[in-house]
Structure 1
Amino acid sequence: MALHPSRRTVLRLLSRLTLSVCAITASAAAWAAEPLRIGYSDWPGWVAWQVAIEKGWFKEAGVEVRFDWFDYSASMDAFTAGKLDAVLMTNGDTLVTGAGGAKGVMVLVTDYSNGNDMIIAKPGIKSLADLKGKKVAVETGLVEHLLLRAGMKRLGMKPGDIEIVNAKTNELPQVFASPDIAAVGAWQPIAGQALKAVPGSKAVQTSAEEPGLIYDVLAVNPASLNARRADWQKVVKLWDRVVAYVDDPKTQPDAVRIMAARSGVSPAEYLPLLKGTRLLTLDEGRKVYEKGNDYKSLYGSTEVANTFNWYNKVYSFSQKVDSYIDPSLTTSALAAAK
């Protein structure tokens, strides 16, 4: 018996709908099977993940992860371009990518800078105040720019007292050798390269003077976080194992060997860098996630960065800090460990 035209139309629509659902399901399954893509760069609190990579801990935890190595600003660019599911960056710089259209949710606080970020001046310059009227090279709008401004504010200096010269962070050791540049702002190990580039130079300000000004975080694309929350939970839970391996005197030599190799320096050169980065356990991170107005809180610290970014026209609109912070994965990991 011939089908009525309307019935044939319905059957064709149902067939197409079934095919579409199958295609979407297959696409989602394929996406879920893809490894989480995380961008990282040369900072001790992020290079520490190399231990988990080489020890095969992600596989043990049942999560596929691919870490991609970048220069720092390039990692932010890759995240902004949608090439990564997450990136390791500072809390203030998370606002920068977010304002540019690539929102990142801070699901894990890995550490805070405790001296490894620094303003390095040429011989004869004894203090930050001595830089008045001189040129200082930093990557404008990023973390060393914030560190410099924080120090200037503490001394009562005005923004115009120092002339800022913009330069990529990885190029600063070469820039520092320029005769008209009095100082540069960089983090380790690039800061160490700058110190070697100009014999007799020294740090006139470090992040140890502003503990909590610079938190380092794992920032995840919200869509990836929503779609693969269970996988991200496994990544966060693994962080305590990494911190324990790096901090334990028995295993630290092996951790330093692994981290140094990733950074391309000797273990002897790398070991001192650990002192300038305060790795945070999940429980210590939980305390940082508590709301507050000072540097002890991720909220307070990030609000300071937000004000700095907006004032210096890094972005046009003040960001809603709370929307960038999600403590739930840290809280869940701690609850599961009990």
Structure 2
Amino acid sequence: MRCELRHVSHARWLEPIARCRRLSSLSTLAIPRLPTSSTRYLVWPKGWKWRKTVQASRRRPRKKEATAFCRNRFSLFPGEGDFFGPILIINSKMKYIKEKTTWSVLLGCVALITINGCGNQQSTPSEGADVKTIPSFSLAWSEYPSWSVFGVADMTGVINGKKGELGPVEEKWGVDIELKEAEYDPCLAMYGAGQCDAVCITNMDILSPATGRPGVMILPTSTSDGADACLVTADIKSIQDLKGKKVYGLEKSVSEYCFVRNLELLNQKEEDFEFANMDPGAAALAMQQKQAAQQAIVVWNPFVMETLGKREDVRVLFDSTKIPNEIIDSVVVAKASLEKKGGEAFACAVIEAYYEVNKALADTAKRDETLIAIGEKFSNLGL
């Protein structure tokens, strides 16, 4: 509220003139109308109602008359000396407005604090709700042509194998894929112990862990067509020369299966041969170093290609070309993980990542680059 008071001189007395700007209850404020000769000094606010008052005399009123006038007309405190009725009215109204304004301000502050407080309390869950929780799953994989695809997918940015970081495919499906690279046997151990949600594994190797942890094959990645092989040194001329000697490889795995199946095809009895358990990487390294004990091993790529490349006197006695479509390389997801929130989306993301790399292989402009990336660690393609 803004009020201005000014005085206009008349004959023998002063008349206070109030000029107020309209605000809330001031629109009903009653100010006595001055004589016609005084109105030329006033600016009348729009919408104000002025009460008709007793015609003021030009002579200076006595103290008693002014007091009676103020009491009778406005029921306010009597003025002293000159005619101060309008001032008393304004002072009274101002006091009333000030009290109302004080309470209004207090109530307004309380309301703002309450609203602000509630807003802050409500914003916390809202902000938390905006941050979407991305379910995270892990995939254990080892070096093998059709499984190294996932390593290439990570290298080329199709997915991001680090936990908590997302690639385009992961963002599309709303899941986080963590890649865990290890040797084949440790991958099987991780899966069996529940340390990963999915594993790159063959169709027959999943049978053993499936007894304790049911799984679902979501993606066949390849079939073995010569990738699993029995390597022998120059001293081994035929299958008969293996009798009485140890053949090293990972027992109860695809290596032992390949060995036994080829014995059957060659009309040999399994009990006439000894299959000794040994990690394929260690077995291949021992043969490459020309250790006398390892004259025959059954391993898969990349160990087959590495060993043949480092020893000219080593050859393939038989391989998986004799048993086409029997050894299927795949990705298996634990059934419990598949049933989790985001489990199916995780499976879809893994499948899409695999086929995105296959698209690059089919593209003549990207084929060589992708093949080099796939075989970077083991194949020494020399492209």
Which interval holds the TM-score relative to the shorter structure?
0.5 to 0.7
Residue 56 (structure 1) shift: 2.2
Q: Please give the per-residue CA displacement for 1:31-66, whole angstroms capped at 9, x wherever unaligned.
A: x62432000001001001223222222322224211
Supply the distance in 2 between the matched residues of 1:222 and 1:186 (Cα, whole angstroms).
29
In 2, distance between residues paired with 1:95 and 1:236?
22
Post-superposition Cα deviations, 1:249-287, rounded to whole Å, max 9, x if no partner, equal: 4322111222233x255342xx7xxxxxxxxxxxxxxxx
**Residue 150 of structure 1 is aligned with which of 249, 261, 283?**
261
Q: Which structure has the greater CA radius of gyration? A: 2
Summarize deviations over 1:193-243 as a string: whole Å, max 9, x none: 333564411011111221112101100011111122123223223432222
TM-score (norm 1): 0.65
Matches within 5 A, 1:98-113: 98-99=210-211, 101-113=212-224
- Amino acid of the residue matched to residue 165 of structure 1? A
Residue type of the alignment partner of 1:38: L
CA distance in 2, matches of 1:203, 1:260: 21
Identify which range, 43-52 or 145-154, moves more after superposition. 43-52
Per the normalisation by structure 2, the TM-score is 0.58
Give unpaired runs (5+ residues) of structure 1: 1-25, 272-338
The reply to whether residue 195 of structure 1 matches residue 304 of structure 2 is no
SS of residue in 2 equivalent to 1:217 = strand
**Quick check: 1:71 aligned with 2:196?**
no
Structure 2 partner of 1:317: none
Equivalent residues of 2:177, 2:346 under 8 A apart: no
Q: Offset at 1:129?
A: 4.1
**Aligned-pair distance for 1:147?**
0.3
SS, match of residue 204 in structure 2: helix
Q: Larger helix proportion, structure 1 or 2?
A: 1
Report if aligned partners of 1:134, 1:181 keep a CA contact under 8 Å in 2. no
Pairwise CA RMSD: 2.3
Relative to structure 1, the CA distance from residue 210 to residue 134 in structure 2 (aligned partners, 3 Å threshold; closer, same or farther) is same
Q: Deviations over 1:123-162 (max 9, x none)?
A: 0423434423322111111111100000001111111221
Alignment map for 1:1-338 (pairs within 5 Å): 33-58=134-159, 59-61=167-169, 62=172, 63-99=175-211, 101-176=212-287, 177-196=290-309, 198-227=311-340, 228-261=343-376, 263=377, 266-268=380-382
Number of positions where the alignment pairs a residue of Structure 1 with one of Structure 2: 239
Q: Shift of the alpha carbon at 1:188?
A: 1.0
- Separation in 2 of the partners of 1:40 and 1:132? 35
Q: 1:256 to 1:144 in 2, by over 3 A?
A: same
Distance in 2 separating the partners of 1:248 and 1:130: 47
Query: Contact (CA 8 Å) 1:137, 1:164: kept in 2 or not?
Result: yes
Identity rate, percent = 25
Contact 2:247/2:297 (CA < 8 Å) preserved in 1? yes
Say if 1:246 and 1:130 are closer, same or farther in 2 by CA, change over 3 A. Answer: farther
Describe the SS at the equivalent of 1:108. strand
Which sections of structure 2, spanning at least 5 residues, go unmatched?
A: 1-127, 160-166
Q: Which amino acid aligns with 1:218?
A: V
